[in-house]
């Protein structure tokens, strides 16, 4: 089950982005954390979330509610050690390099891998074996819409967003940093439009088949 919340450190309210609660599977390979992707270790993220995020960054509110500051050398460290154990789910069709094993994958998955590494240009940001570059990229999605309020949220510029790992992606809908895409099919179509790839319907199906094998 996935949940969403509002970024606590952005004002005014209409510009507060909804952000997705990402899966913690494979979090040990990630290098950027937090809604602004400014935290560089799991330890920093754990401590920040406990100290500030739950209280919307309001120290007075935290004091009234009884904030319990974690001790860095033991509690924070132990939580980070636990998170490092949360590996990606099994992907039996991948080889030791994180690529498809041609003896196990079907034709659609193999075509999808070729598209992923070629025409669709996914590999530019999502490199094997974990299918992330641990960086941030600006998709400039605002090219395709105007600044307006939709369902209580402002359709504003997203700026640079984190490259999430695609390993195990089939198990963690919805997708993108704010859950705007409900399915992998939606996600492929979103990037098809944003990147202006002109993928055909069969190509989109093959790309989804490959993503489901990761």
The pLDDT value given to residue 1: 46
pLDDT, tens digit (0-9, with 9 covering 90-100), for 145-176: 777 777 666 677 778 888 999 999 999 999 98
Output 175 or 108, whichever has higher pLDDT.
108
Written out in words, the top-level CATH class of the domain with range 107-213 is mainly alpha
pLDDT, tens digit (0-9, with 9 covering 90-100), for 174-211: 998 878 889 999 999 999 999 999 999 999 999 999 99
Mean of the per-residue pLDDT values of the chain: 84
How many CB atoms are located within 10 Å of the residue 89 CB? 14
The domain segmentation of the chain, as residue ranges, is 23-83, 107-213
User: Distance between CA atoms of 20 and 129, rounded to whole angstroms?
Assistant: 24
């Amino acid at each position: 089950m996935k949940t969403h919340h509002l970024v606590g450190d952005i004002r005014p309210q209409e510009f507060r982005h909804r952000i997705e609660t990402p899966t913690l599977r494979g979090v040990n390979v990630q290098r950027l954390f937090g809604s602004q992707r400014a935290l560089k270790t799991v330890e920093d993220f754990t401590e920040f979330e406990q100290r500030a995020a739950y209280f919307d960054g309001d120290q007075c509110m935290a004091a009234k509610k009884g904030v319990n500051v974690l001790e860095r050398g033991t509690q924070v460290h132990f939580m980070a050690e636990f998170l490092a154990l949360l590996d990606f789910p099994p992907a039996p069709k991948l080889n030791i390099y994180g690529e498809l094993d041609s003896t196990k994958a079907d034709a659609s998955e193999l075509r999808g891998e070729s598209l992923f590494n070629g025409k669709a240009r996914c590999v530019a940001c999502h490199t094997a074996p974990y299918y992330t570059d641990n960086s941030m990229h600006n998709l400039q999605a605002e090219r395709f819409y105007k600044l307006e309020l939709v369902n209580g949220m402002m359709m504003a510029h997203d700026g640079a967003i984190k490259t999430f790992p695609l390993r195990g992606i089939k198990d963690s809908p919805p997708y993108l940093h704010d859950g705007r895409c409900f399915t992998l099919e939606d996600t492929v179509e979103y990037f098809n439009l944003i990147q202006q790839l002109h993928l055909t319907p069969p190509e989109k199906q093959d790309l989804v088949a490959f993503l489901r094998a990761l």
